[in-house]
Amino acid sequence: MRSFYASVEAVKLNLDPMSALLAVVGDPDRPGSIVLAASPALKQKYGISNVSRFFDLPKHDPELYIVQAHMADYLYVSSEITKLLYQYVPKEAIHQYSVDEVWVTVNGMERLFGTRWEIAEKIKEDILENFGITCSIGIGDNKFLAKVVMDLHAKKVGIAECRYEDVEEKLWPFPVEKIWGIGGRMKRNLNRMGIVTLGQIARFSLDQLKKRFGVMGEQLYWHAWGIDLSPVFGNFTKTEQKGFGHGISLLRDYSAEEAPICILDLCEEVCRRARTADQAGRTIHLGVSYSKKTGGGFSRSQSVSIPTNVTMDVYGVCLQLFRKFYDGKSNIRHVYVTLGNLFAKGETQLDLFEDRPKKNDIGYAMDAIRDKFGTTAILRATSYTNAGITIGRSKKIGGHRA
């Protein structure tokens, strides 16, 4: 979807999403709040992007609309667009990549809807007619080619295609940082090796890339040749859970006294998710980032002998890590907690020296109350202090207003 959040808000205001000057902001009351989405016209006229801040917006322009994010609306429209795609292909042929991007495998649909170009045109028209939103569509012989040709070409022309034989012409000339899957750190590493474009990766030694980057180097090489063996049919909603993590970027600096309250709320959410999945973990990870004034932070893990999903067990370990690695003076701006090295509930053993079943039952009882009456129906007393984060987060989706 083109500027999805901004397009949804424009349609709600009876504006043309492609020509209106509209920005979706996380919190208009905070000058430093991030611009979550800018309409195509706003991007073109003022260079506003998804990394801009509220104070970057041209507020002198009387045609500018500044709208607060409504995440529930975007999730609803996203699910409705996916339902529309069910008219073309079965669920097994749809792989939802994000709230505004999806892969659709159209193999075998020719007799019903025509060629893949004709199907793309029909989907584009259907989405515009039903939702008022313009989309870009990339067509490829695999997921990688479809995604990259959409990013590089379709966003300019609407629909673009890249087959295996088109890779050299359509993809190789582009800088590596423009290619899906290559981030800033990988870009710097490749540049140090004299690699600037995708074509240079394709011509580079596979053995050297594997030696330097391991499995990622091999993937880079084959992607540069347009080769991607990712499955295009299956249940893409079911993935193996490696761990349960929860983090937050705090709206203000937290002191050493306030941080444990935030950590406890995060432990509660992490363990709730683990209990819901009937999983327990042995490795507990705490990450803390300090405020910009001092910079830095720490990220440390500790393992326990018996897998657990008990909030106070995880919290106790996190407190040990905090007291051991915190520098004792810096303000805190970001915290995350992760429970990993998972085991199924039935695989965990009992402890002879504590009433573990009782501790587990308390957690499951609290979860049942929250499931029935809402996430804030029963909370720890610390969650009601100024340092608690659960109540504020309960009103948000993805960290933004629902």
Catalytic residue numbers, as ranges: 101
**How much of the chain is in helix, strand and coil states, percent to nearest 5?**
45, 20, 35
Nearest CA to 151 among 132, 170, 191, 179?
Answer: 179
Q: How far apart are CA 331 and CA 262, in angstroms?
A: 13
The DSSP element (H or E) to which 220 belongs, if any, is helix 215-224
Q: How far apart are CA 273 and CA 246, in angstroms?
A: 10
Classify residue 92 by its DSSP letter: G
Q: How far apart are CA 241 and CA 250, in angstroms?
A: 26
- Sign of the CA dihedral with 217 first, then 220, 223, and 225 last: negative
Indicate the pairing of strand 137-140 with strand 159-162: parallel
Q: What secondary structure does DSSP assign to 129-153, as a single string?
A: HHH-----EEEESSHHHHHHHIIII
Nearest CA to 332 among 251, 253, 261?
Answer: 253
Q: How far is CA 322 from the centre of its chain?
A: 27
Q: How far is CA 373 from the centre of its chain?
A: 28
| Maximum Cα interatomic distance, the chain, rounded to a whole number of Å | 71
